[in-house]
Structure 1
Amino acid sequence: MGGRVLAPAEAGENDVVLAWEGEDVVAVRLPQLADSLDHILAALERKQGRPLAELDRKAKQDVVKVLEARGAFSVRHGVETVATALGVSRFTVYNYLNRAQTR
């Protein structure tokens, strides 16, 4: 998801330090949530084998369902980012979200 591995001494307050048998061995710097959304979208695009905007409506609805489960819409401008990636309007993304919730 775009994290970076660091030496424990380089860890900042928001990094995750992993220890083994009481000894700090590695630190992980996780990306900002907005960066994670870009990584998730890129992974979904690779999985589909083509740009998300080229998917049919059903496939786009499925992508929105996956993104919702991963918390993509809790990110500031998440709906706008997803709408752009899917080649649809924000209104359409909200419709897909509502459709997924009524199932």
Structure 2
Amino acid sequence: MKLKAEFTTEPFRGEGEPPPHAVRAREAASAAGLTVDFGPLGTTARGEAGAVLDALPAIARAALTAGATRLTLQLSTEEARGPAEPAVQPLDRLIREVEAELGGRLAELDRQDKQRAVRLLEERGAFTLRKAVVTIAEALGVTRFTVYNYLNREA
């Protein structure tokens, strides 16, 4: 079984270089042999269940000793995503519309356009659909925490 660990470390920093606690947590995940996606406000690490579970103490230790005041973690099985459900189909359509409007796949956009894409999807009601944040995060190539940050930035 494969697992996905999504984690954020705090305190958050705005623009510029990521804080040392986030970098150290990412390095610990990479050193454990996990596939790592490092975003501005969160990290996703994927791998075999044993490898992910074994790496979690090292990730937490690295973040906390480098100055993190909080580590938030969510674990899920990769198989849990399964095939698209009927409620996701309208979301896929909305994502394709926004991609067409912005002139490219969401994952290939720069951060400013990704933020714009989230605003457009919110205006069109995408976040009222089931599993919207997870699906949109995957389409953007970011963590779901990053999507929440983009949403909160507009609030």
TM-score range, shorter chain: 0.5 to 0.7
| Aligned counterpart in structure 1 of residue 98 of structure 2, from 41, 44, 66 | 44
| CA deviation profile, 1:71-95 (whole Å, cap 9, x unmatched) | 1111111000000000000000000
Bigger Cα Rg: 1
Q: Does structure 1 residue 93 correspond to structure 2 residue 147? A: yes
Please state how far the C-alpha of 1:61 moved relative to its aligned partner: 0.5
Distance in 2 between the 1:46 and 1:68 partners? 16
Q: Comparing both chains, which one has the higher relative contact order based on Cα–Cα distances under 8 Å and sequence gaps of 6 or more?
A: 2
Distance in 1 between the 2:138 and 2:105 partners? 11
Q: Which residue of 2 aligns with 1:18?
A: none
SS of residue paired to 1:91: helix
Percent sequence identity is 53
Runs of 4+ residues over 4 Å off in structure 1: none
SS of residue paired to 1:50: coil
2:100 maps to a residue whose letter is R
Please state how far the C-alpha of 1:41 moved relative to its aligned partner: 0.6
Gapped runs of 5+ residues in structure 2? 1-85
CA RMSD between the two structures? 1.2
Gapped runs of 5+ residues in structure 1? 1-31
How many positions carry a matched residue from both structures? 70
